[in-house]
């Protein structure tokens, strides 16, 4: 990549720390890789603290602790304290399982700024069948109440799929009851487990249109009060792709549990060799690494993107989506109606009308191989 592009690289404003892939839940929409790697390769406390110090010095300002389930790390409080002292805005992104009132309080003392809890549905029946664990809903509900009682800003995240899309209105009521500040009604992103389960998850266009109408009507009745709702639709129904990660290597830096540095949490699937913080500095990774420079600028772009006047807007779309659907990570995102592969998206929408394979529940087993998939029927 030429020097001109390199000097234009701004700071990695958003740092996502995936502390562990371990998780007590089994969501079929999970975007973690289906091969979860080995826990013994996970970064230790000191390595994480170093990552935060280096990234902050480069100008990173938002820090998300996620996973898997970040609460499984006993040193979470220590990491929160260190990063808050560095000036990060600290976000905990959790399933709520493993949270207690006491831990919420301890995290507050450590300086945690905000807690995001994910829900799988509007009631225990729906929630717990998707999460693959009994009592998950009750636990999440209680913890969400406690998060607000203890004075945190709270975001609720509902992953919307074919399974729960009919509950949108109940979900919005639940969010009001729990006094959420922001609510993401986000359709699953089809990476990792979610890609394997796409036919079961992807709502139909009619379901999307109906849900959007309900969301808008509900918003109109809010009169500026209550949670702010974000309805995030799958780009499968659009004719332009999303500006994935605000541009490759422009804003987001994800560190995976084993220390791999990625421009986005799903990038590991790409046939690229990603650097690791165990043996490279963050500034070297961000400014010099081949994989991070690979899709910066526009010289890598194929046609029709290369000569398209919208390339500054969407950067040719998502590299992971292009790779998953076409097998070529340089291809124009097939979501774009100008893409020669656009029919693949049309076909996916068709296939989702009648799933042929049973749904896969996420298996929390190390070194998972395809044959071990547990098939359940919802």
Partner 1 sequence: MINSSLQPKLNPMFRLQWEQVQECYVLLYPEGMVKLNGSAGEIMQLIDGNNKVVDIINTLNDKFPDAGDLTEDIYEFLSAAGEKKWLYYEQ
Question: Which residues are documented as binding site for [4Fe-4S] cluster?
Answer: 23, 27, 30
Give CA–CA dist 30/352, Å, rounded. 18
Contact 28, 201 (CB under 8 A): yes
CB-nearer residue toward ligand SF4: 222 or 337: 337
Closest distance to ligand SF4 from the beta carbon of 24 (Å) = 7
Q: What are phi and psi of 293, to 5 degrees?
A: -85, -15
Q: How far is CA 111 from the centre of its chain?
A: 23
User: Which two three-digit tokens encode residue 131?
Assistant: 């999460």
Is beta strand 89-94 parallel, antiparallel or unpaired with respect to 62-67?
A: parallel
How many amino acids of this chain bind ligand SF4 (CB under 6 A)? 26
Q: Does 284 bind ligand SF4 (CB under 6 A)?
A: no
User: Closest Cα partner for 160 from 229, 66, 241?
Assistant: 229
Give CA–CA dist 94/152, Å, rounded. 14
Stretch of residues binding ligand SF4 (CB under 6 A), selected from 23-31, 106-114, 200-208, 245-253: 23-31
Give CA–CA dist 274/110, Å, rounded. 32
Q: Does 182 bind partner 1 (CB under 8 A)?
A: yes
62 binds, among ligand SF4, partner 1, none (CB under 5 to 8 A by kind): partner 1
CB-nearer residue toward partner 1: 65 or 274: 65
CB-nearer residue toward partner 1: 13 or 373: 13
Of 316, 321, 345, 361, the one binding ligand SF4 (CB under 6 A) is: 316
Contact code string over 231-260 relative to ligand SF4, x by CB under 6 A: ---------xx-------------------
CB-nearer residue toward ligand SF4: 272 or 318: 318
Q: How far is CA 250 from the centre of its chain?
A: 17
User: Closest Cα partner for 159 from 125, 187, 193, 127?
Assistant: 187
CB-nearer residue toward ligand SF4: 117 or 183: 117
Closest distance to ligand SF4 from the beta carbon of 376 (Å) = 14
Give CA–CA dist 10/144, Å, rounded. 36
Contact 8, 53 (CB under 8 A): no
Contact code string over 76-115 relative to ligand SF4, x by CB under 6 A: -------------------x--------------------
Distances (CA, A) of 352 to 56, 65, 199, 296, 323: 43, 33, 4, 33, 20
Contact 273, 262 (CB under 8 A): no
Q: Does 314 bind ligand SF4 (CB under 6 A)?
A: yes
Window 102-121: residues binding partner 1 (CB under 8 A): 113-114, 116
CB-nearer residue toward ligand SF4: 128 or 314: 314
Q: Does 334 bind ligand SF4 (CB under 6 A)?
A: no
User: Which two three-digit tokens encode residue 277?
Assistant: 């913080």
Give CA–CA dist 71/312, Å, rounded. 39
Reduced to 3 states (helix: H, G, I; strand: E, B; else coil), residue 141 is helix
Interface with ligand SF4 (CB under 6 A) = 23, 25-27, 30, 32, 67-69, 95, 118, 240-241, 304-305, 308, 310-311, 314, 316-317, 332-333, 336, 338, 362
Interface with partner 1 (CB under 8 A) = 11, 13, 58-59, 61-62, 64, 87, 89, 91, 113-114, 116, 151, 153-155, 181-182
């Amino acid at each position: 990549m030429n020097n001109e592009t390199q000097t234009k690289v701004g700071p990695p404003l958003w740092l996502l720390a995936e502390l562990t892939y371990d998780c007590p839940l089994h969501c079929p929409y999970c975007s973690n890789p289906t091969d979860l790697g080995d826990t013994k390769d996970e970064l230790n406390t000191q390595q994480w603290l170093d990552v935060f110090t280096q990234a902050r010095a480069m100008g990173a300002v938002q820090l998300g602790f996620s996973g898997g389930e970040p609460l499984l790390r006993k040193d979470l409080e220590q990491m929160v304290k260190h990063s808050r002292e560095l000036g990060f805005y600290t976000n905990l992104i959790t399933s709520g399982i493993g949270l207690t009132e006491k831990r919420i309080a301890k995290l507050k003392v450590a300086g945690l700024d905000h807690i995001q809890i994910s829900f799988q549905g509007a009631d225990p029946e729906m929630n717990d069948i998707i999460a693959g664990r009994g009592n998950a809903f009750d636990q999440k509900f209680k913890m969400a109440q406690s998060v607000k009682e203890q004075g945190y800003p709270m975001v609720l995240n509902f992953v919307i799929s074919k399974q729960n899309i009919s509950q949108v209105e109940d979900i919005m009521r639940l969010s009001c009851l729990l006094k959420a500040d922001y609510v993401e009604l986000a359709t699953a992103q089809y990476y990792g487990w979610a890609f394997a389960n796409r036919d079961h998850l992807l709502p139909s266009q009619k379901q999307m249109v109906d849900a959007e109408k309900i969301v808008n009507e509900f918003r109109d009745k809010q009169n500026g009060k209550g949670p702010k709702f974000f309805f995030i639709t799958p780009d499968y129904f659009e004719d332009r792709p999303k500006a994935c990660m605000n541009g490759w290597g422009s804003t987001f830096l994800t560190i995976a549990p084993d220390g791999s540095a990625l421009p986005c949490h799903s990038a590991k699937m790409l046939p690229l060799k990603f650097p690791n913080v165990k043996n490279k500095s963050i500034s070297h990774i961000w400014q010099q690494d081949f994989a991070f420079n690979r899709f910066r600028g526009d010289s890598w772009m194929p046609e029709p993107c290369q000569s398209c006047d919208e390339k500054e807007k969407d950067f040719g779309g998502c590299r992971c989506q292009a790779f998953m659907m076409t097998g070529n990570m340089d291809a124009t995102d097939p979501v774009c109606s100008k893409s020669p592969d656009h029919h693949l998206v049309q076909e996916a929408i068709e296939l989702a009308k009648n799933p042929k394979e049973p749904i896969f529940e996420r298996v929390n087993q190390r070194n998972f191989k395809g044959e071990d998939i547990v098939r359940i029927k919802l």
